[in-house]
Amino acid sequence: MKKAILVVSFGTSFDETREKTIGAIEKEIAKEFPDYIVKRAFTSGVIMNNLAKRGIIIPNVVTALEELSAQGVTDVFVQPTHIIPGEEYDKLVSMAEGCKDKFGSFKIGKPLMWNENDYKNVSDFLIKEYGDTEKAVILMGHGTEHRANDVYLKLSDILESHNIFVGTVENKPDIYDVLNKTENFKNIVLVPFMVVAGDHAVNDMAGDDDDSWKSVMENVGRNVEVVLKGVGEYLPIREIYCEHIRREL
């Protein structure tokens, strides 16, 4: 019997942060589950195509599962590195379930923020790492029109009493909502609440364009620090993904 864990990420074309985050999560999983083959897949077609042009081939979910089946793998656990159970998670579940008949045992794990225990573990980590200082820490989440955007609102409610605020790039709360909530803070720290510190973190959060979060804050007189570290770089976050696997195996 051959067993495998397929680690599925949205992906990034930023090589250095990819290995510091996605690669680090995969290594942690391989260490915790040594009896399993650990394989990588991405869900972003744009990123996979961009990487392929540079000679870096990352399979999508279906291709990765077909490759595992061809290798004689009988038991598969699909673990996403996504933050929320949003559109990308729904997409990977749909793609993966189309291949489940190829395996004797087939399970799909949960994203980082799934249940109350996850909220506690993630918020405890964020408070320990960033909270309760005289600076306002602003976490940049991706945001989505999907109902799972409520994750960011709930997390913000937990963290705001510790001077940590959550905004999103593509929904509410946005940078202007967070700007209003932090009006009494002169000093701001911007941190990506994303697995990788990729394009959104480098450009939308920390870039020099007028509409970047850094520029918006500086233009109203705030002193801004930037932390370009995806949450995948932090061991406590990687351990949560491992716990999700352990809970369902």
Q: What's the rounded Cα separation, in Å, for the pair 149 and 20? A: 26
Q: Are residues 52 and 155 in the same domain?
A: no
Q: Are residues 105 and 126 in the same domain?
A: no
Q: Are residues 99 and 131 in the same domain?
A: no
Q: At what angle do helices 116-130 and 235-248 cross, to 10 degrees?
A: 170
Q: Are residues 218 and 176 in the same domain?
A: yes
Q: Are residues 130 and 195 in the same domain?
A: yes
Q: Are residues 23 and 51 in the same domain?
A: yes
How much of the chain, in percent, has pLDDT values that exceed 70? 100
Mean pLDDT of the chain: 96
Q: Are residues 103 and 125 in the same domain?
A: no
Where does residue 59 rank: exposed (0-12), middle (13-18), buried (19+ CB within 10 A)?
Answer: middle
Q: Are residues 120 and 222 in the same domain?
A: yes
Q: What's the rounded Cα separation, in Å, for the pair 214 and 205? A: 6
Q: Are residues 79 and 173 in the same domain?
A: no
Q: For residue range 29-71, what is the model confidence (pLDDT) as tens digits?
A: 999 999 999 999 999 999 999 999 999 999 999 999 999 999 9
176 has pLDDT over 90:
yes
How much of the chain, in percent, has pLDDT values that exceed 90? 95
Q: Which of 82, 142, 200, 244 is catalytic?
A: 142
CATH label of the domain that carries residue 146: 3.40.50.1400
Q: Does residue 34 have a cis bond before it (omega within 30 degrees)?
A: no
Query: Domain limits at 150?
Result: 116-229
Q: Are residues 205 and 242 in the same domain?
A: no
Name beta bridge partners: 37: 4
Q: Are residues 6 and 27 in the same domain?
A: yes
Q: Is 142 a catalytic residue?
A: yes
The structural domain count of the chain equals 2
Q: What's the rounded Cα separation, in Å, for the pair 115 and 124? A: 14
Q: Are residues 92 and 9 in the same domain?
A: yes
**What is the longest distance spanned by two Cα atoms in the chain?**
62
pLDDT for 199: 87
